[in-house]
Structure 1
Amino acid sequence: MSRGTVNRVLIGLVGAVLVVAGVLVLAGGLDLYGRLGVHPPGWWPLTSPYQPVVSARSRTRWVAGSWWWPTVIGGLSVLVVATVWWLVAQLRRTGLSSIAVPTPGVAGLRTRVSARALESALESGAVVLPEVERADVRLVRAPGHPRLRGAVRLTPGGDPAALVEHFETGPRADALGSLRVPELPADLRIRVLQEAPAGARRRRRRRRRRHPRVE
């Protein structure tokens, strides 16, 4: 699961909990239950403006237990550590904005090349194959040398082995020669699309005929 997906799931869950809690507090604080004639169950939190959010019984229910304070402190500590870890993970960028390359004939001088320009060149070189539907390449930090991470989507019937050979001898070899770097490892994630059923293909063709493309 990617970092973006994890972020969206976490933010969605936290947002849903906060919205539900806010609605319950707002409904009780505005006495909406009494105005609408609704009688929530006894365990329902905050049913009137004069009721505390957490009752005295709930606050002191387990305080006398020997396990209470270690559990509270341990749970809060885990929550704080997890929050700090998540924040540090967001601040730590895995992508590179540029890459330093040696300058031929000038000792000690290194030129920096935009990572986005290199990524675009590699993507353009990958989509040359007719069976490549989409290519996405990123230059990331890695121990020793920068590393390429690519995600390529092939059309139905595409040949992953041919794509790997083309990428190795074409775009990646060209990048090594242009940058004059000794090594540029690459990780490729290849997805081959499944061929759509005949009925779906016919429906797509009918839609194209009804809505002609204008260029």
Structure 2
Amino acid sequence: MSRGAVNRTILAVAGALLVAGGLLVLAGGLDLYRRLGLSMPAGWPLTARTRPLLGVAARARVAGHSWWWPVVIAVLVLLVIGALAWLAAQLRRTRSGSLELAPPLAATALLVRGRAVEDVVEAATVALPGVERVSAQLGGPPGAPVVRAAVRLTPHGSPAELLEGFRTGPLARTRRSLGLPTLRSELRLRVAPQRRPSRRKQPRVR
């Protein structure tokens, strides 16, 4: 699963839980159950403004277990640590904003925008035979950049020919242009599904 899909899944689950909890608190705080004449199941939380989250019986059961509150606190701490780790991962940059070219490629140190490098790689790759769509990204740490390209092949495209063409074409030219003979690359391939020809109904001859 890609990073974007994982992020969307986490956000969707967290958002659904927050919305559900907020609706429960709102319904209890506004006393909507009584106003609407709703009869909720036994044990349903926050059915009235004066009702606590844990009833008397539940608090009595919890008080009888010494391990209850340490477990609750440990779970909450783990959730906070996980949320902070996820936030730190989102803030970490995965795309290089610029790439520094040192002499002798330039008279002085020169910064090349990462988007410019990505545009060149995309334009050179989409011109290869059998390529339908390309999305390139320049990432990695400043001292070890990497070119990542996601290529969508036509139904009759050849992965072997694309790999060879990408290595000797766009990648080789990018390495020479940037003066980085060891520039790394990652290539992801997808093949477009073959479209079935539509069956047109023949007109009936009477």
Decide: shared fold, TM above 0.5.
yes
Residue 24 (str. 1) matches residue 4 (str. 2): no
Same amino acid, percent of matched pairs: 48
Distance 1:174 1:20, change over 3 A: same
**Matched residue SS, 1:176:** helix
Matched residue type, 2:126: V
Residue 119 of structure 1 and its aligned partner are, at CA, apart by 0.4
TM-score by length of 1: 0.84
Residue 171 of structure 1 and its aligned partner are, at CA, apart by 1.0
Matched residue type, 1:25: V
TM-score by length of 2: 0.88
Counterparts of residues 113-132 of structure 1 (less than 5 Å): 113-132=112-131
**Across the two proteins, how many residue pairs are aligned to each other?**
200
**Matched residue SS, 2:15:** helix
Matched residue type, 1:78: L
Residue 103 of structure 1 and its aligned partner are, at CA, apart by 2.4
Residues 101 and 181, structure 1, Cα contact 8 Å, conserved in 2? no
| Bigger mean CA deviation after superposition, 31-40 or 157-166 | 31-40
Residues 176 and 184, structure 1, Cα contact 8 Å, conserved in 2? yes
Distance 1:137 1:9, change over 3 A: same
Residue of structure 2 equivalent to 1:95: 95
Residues 105 and 179, structure 2, Cα contact 8 Å, conserved in 1? no
Residues 133 and 154, structure 1, Cα contact 8 Å, conserved in 2? yes
For 1:67 and 1:167, how far apart are their aligned partners in 2?
60
Matched residue type, 2:116: A
Per-residue CA deviation, residues 71-116 of structure 1 (Å, 9 max, x unaligned), is 1232122112111111110111111001111222778x42111110
Residues 153 and 189, structure 2, Cα contact 8 Å, conserved in 1? yes
Per-residue CA deviation, residues 118-176 of structure 1 (Å, 9 max, x unaligned), is 00000000000242111011111159521111110001011011111111111111111
CA RMSD of aligned residues (A): 2.1
Q: Which runs of 5+ in 2 are unaligned?
A: 201-206
Distance 1:49 1:74, change over 3 A: closer
For 2:105 and 2:22, how far apart are their aligned partners in 1?
66
For 2:19 and 2:111, how far apart are their aligned partners in 1?
47
Residues 25 and 53, structure 1, Cα contact 8 Å, conserved in 2? no
Distance 1:113 1:130, change over 3 A: same
Residue 41 of structure 1 and its aligned partner are, at CA, apart by 1.3
